[in-house]
Amino acid sequence: MAGTLYLVPTPIGNLGDISPRMADTMARADFIAAEDTRVSLKLLNHLGLKKSMISYHRHNTEAGGRAVLERLLAGESCALVTDAGTPAISDPGQELVAQCAQQGIDVVAIPGPCALVTALAASGQPTDRFTFEGFLPMNKKNRRAHLDSLKGEERTMVFYEAPHKLNATICDLRDAFGEERPISLCRELSKLHEEVRRTTLGEAARWYEENQPKGEFVLVIRGAEPVEEQEATLEDGLARVEALRAGGASLKDAVKQAARELDLSKNELYDLALGR
Choice between 197 and 252, CB closer to ligand SAM: 197
Using CB under 6 A as the binding criterion, the count of chain residues that bind ligand SAM stands at 24
Q: Of the listed pieces 48-56, 80-88, 146-154, 237-245, which binds ligand SAM according to CB under 6 A? A: 80-88
Nearer to ligand SAM, 108 or 251 (CB): 108
Residue (90 or 199) nearer to ligand SAM, CB: 90
Which residue among 101, 162, 243, 251 contacts ligand SAM (CB under 6 A)? 162
Burial of 254 per CB tally in 10 Å (0-12, 13-18, 19+) = buried
Q: List phi, psi (to 5°) of 132.
A: -90, 120
Q: Which is nearer to ligand SAM, 17 or 203 (CB)?
A: 17
Residues 116/41, Cβ–Cβ less than 8 Å: no
What 141-144 contacts at long range (C-beta under 8 Å, 24+ apart), as own/partner pairs, is: 143/172, 144/172
Instruction: State the Cα torsion 198-204-207-211 to the nearest 10°.
Output: 90
Site for ligand SAM in 215-274 (CB under 6 A): 216-218
Nearest approach, Cβ of residue 153 and ligand SAM (Å): 19
Q: Does 85 bind ligand SAM (CB under 6 A)?
A: yes
The residue from 5, 7, 8, 12 that contacts ligand SAM (CB under 6 A) is 12
Smaller CB distance to ligand SAM: residue 40 or 82? 82
SS3 annotation, 115-163: HHHHHHHHHCCCCCCEEEEECCCCCHHHHHHHHHHCCCCCCEEEEEECH
Other Cβ atoms less than 10 A from the Cβ of 139: the count is: 10
Dist. CA 120–CA 64, nearest whole Å:
32
Residue from 37, 90, 131, 199 binding ligand SAM (CB under 6 A): 90
13 binds ligand SAM (CB under 6 A): yes
Indicate the residue among 29 and 114 with the shorter CB distance to ligand SAM.
114
Beta partners for 4? 106
161 contributes a contact to ligand SAM by CB under 6 A: yes
